[in-house]
Structure 1
Amino acid sequence: MDRGLKGRAALVSGASKGIGRAIVQRLVAEGMQVLGIARGGCDVPGAIGLAVDLRDPAGPAAAVAHAVRDFGRLDLVVNSAGATQRGDFLALDDAAWDDSFAGKFFAAVRLTRAAWPALQAAQGGVVHIAGVGGKIASADFAIGGSVNAALMNLTKALADRGVQDGVRVNCINPGSIRTDRLTGRIATVMQEKGLDEAAAAAVLAKSTGVARFGEPEEIAALVAFLASAEASYMQGAVIDIDGGWNRAL
């Protein structure tokens, strides 16, 4: 399906692996010009890769300037960077909180703010990749849940501004997606229970109440949809894509 994205330009953070890398691959396949940024750069064929540390306050503006210089425009920003630290609330110090908010929430704030004039000129959009953990509280995911909840609220606030500026802002909440982090959790179950990978994955999926884990490409497909004209009436949407994990309204 041609989503009408050919020739448009995107900037994707967290582009070196997992969901971010899959998003870059999908947008390149859709015919977009893509700048993928991460601390280690991005080596997706067809995209431009740039090593950027978004914890550095100057990093986001530099990345946006690079994209606008190379592409002459910017139609889409996807904030997919930032793994948050998991662990019991009492075991995590201020540094863990600071690092998680800096790498995910404040990175999204700064990247979006730097890109806003170009997005306004192109009547483009922003997609935040948050996480369903922002809706489902747990003691061992206090940091991640708080960061993701903040991103959801930021989505609504920026969408309000976007109505007058012509910039669409939406948010995706992935559930358990088969990334390096999830693969590590599966490996732990394999070791603890003496199971093979498929059986361990099934046990872990069942423990969260889903039939299977999601794939990064499924998140990337939703990003492509949100970037297209088909989703032009979606503004401030927060979309769970979690296999039914979140059963709350």
Structure 2
Amino acid sequence: MDRGLKGKAALVSGASKGIGRAIVQRLVAEGMQVLGIARGGCDVPGAIGLVADLRDPAAPAAAVARAVRDFGRLDLLVNSAGATQRGDFLSLDDEAWADSYAGKFFAAVRLTRAAWPHLAQAQGSVVHIAGIGGKMASADFTIGGSVNAALMNLTKALADRGVQDGVRVNCINPGSIRTDRLTGRIATAMKEKGLDETGAATFLAKSTGVARFGEPEEIAAAVAFLASGEASYFQGAIIDIDGGWLRAT
């Protein structure tokens, strides 16, 4: 299916692995020019990789400037960077909170602010990758939950501005997606339960009430849809892609 993305330009953060890397791969396959940024760079064939630490307040604007310089335009920004620290609330100090917010929430704020004039010119869009934890509270995910909730609220606020400026802003909340972090949990379950990889993955998935874990490519497909003209009436949408894990509005 031709989504009309060929020749357009995208900037994707968190592009070195997992969901971010899958998004870069999908957008390249759609014919887009893509700059993928991450602390580990991005080695996806057909994309330009940029090594950058978005916790540095100056890095987001520099990344946007690089994308516009290389492509001459910017049609899509995907904020996928930032793994937040997990742990019980009482064990997390101020440094843990500051680092997690800097790497995910403030990185998204700064990238979006720098990209906005270019996105407005192109009548483009922003997609935030938050997480279903922003709707589900737990003591060992206090930081991640609050960061994801903040990204959802930011989506709504920017969508309000986007109506005026012609920029669409939407958000995806992945559930349990088969990334490196989840692979580690599966390996632990294999040892503790004496299961093979498939059995351990099934056990963990059922423990959260879903049939299976998601794949990064499934999130990437949703990003491609949101970036396309098919989603032209999506504005401020919060899309849960979690296999039915969240059973509340």
- TM-score norm. by structure 1 comes to 0.99
Letter in 1 for 2:108: A
Letter in 2 for 1:213: F
CA distance in 2, matches of 1:60, 1:197: 38
CA distance in 1, matches of 2:171, 2:143: 19
Following superposition, the deviation at residue 194 of structure 1 comes to 1.3
Following superposition, the deviation at residue 195 of structure 1 comes to 1.1
Q: Deviations over 1:62-120 (max 9, x none)?
A: 00000000000000000000001111111111111111100000000000000000000
Letter in 1 for 2:41: G
CA distance in 1, matches of 2:185, 2:104: 21
Structure 2 equivalent of residue 85 of structure 1:
85
Structure 2 equivalent of residue 41 of structure 1:
41
Q: Secondary structure at the match of 1:128?
A: strand
Aligned pair 1:173/2:173, yes or no?
Answer: yes
Following superposition, the deviation at residue 196 of structure 1 comes to 0.9
Aligned pair 1:65/2:50, yes or no?
Answer: no
CA distance in 2, matches of 1:184, 1:75: 35
Structure 2 equivalent of residue 2 of structure 1:
2
Letter in 1 for 2:174: P
Structure 1 equivalent of residue 130 of structure 2:
130
CA distance in 1, matches of 2:139, 2:192: 22
CA distance in 2, matches of 1:104, 1:177: 18
Letter in 1 for 2:181: R
**Aligned ranges 1:1-249 → 2 under 5 Å:** 1-249=1-249
CA distance in 1, matches of 2:26, 2:157: 28
CA distance in 1, matches of 2:85, 2:206: 23
Q: Deviations over 1:170-198 (max 9, x none)?
A: 00000000000000011111111111111
Q: Secondary structure at the match of 1:42?
A: coil
Q: Secondary structure at the match of 2:239?
A: strand
CA distance in 1, matches of 2:68, 2:214: 33
Q: Which runs of 5+ in 1 are unaligned?
A: none
Letter in 2 for 1:151: L
Q: What is the root-mean-square deviation in Å for CA atoms of aligned residues? A: 0.4
Runs of at least 4 residues of structure 1 off by over 6 A? none
CA distance in 2, matches of 1:42, 1:206: 33
CA distance in 1, matches of 2:42, 2:84: 20
Q: Secondary structure at the match of 2:245?
A: coil
How many residue pairs were aligned?
249
CA distance in 2, matches of 1:138, 1:149: 13
Q: Which runs of 5+ in 2 are unaligned?
A: none
Percent identity (aligned)? 88
Q: Deviations over 1:132-178 (max 9, x none)?
A: 00001111111100000000000000000000000000000000000
CA distance in 1, matches of 2:140, 2:191: 21
CA distance in 2, matches of 1:39, 1:139: 28
Letter in 2 for 1:95: E
Q: Secondary structure at the match of 2:219?
A: helix
- TM-score norm. by structure 2 comes to 0.99
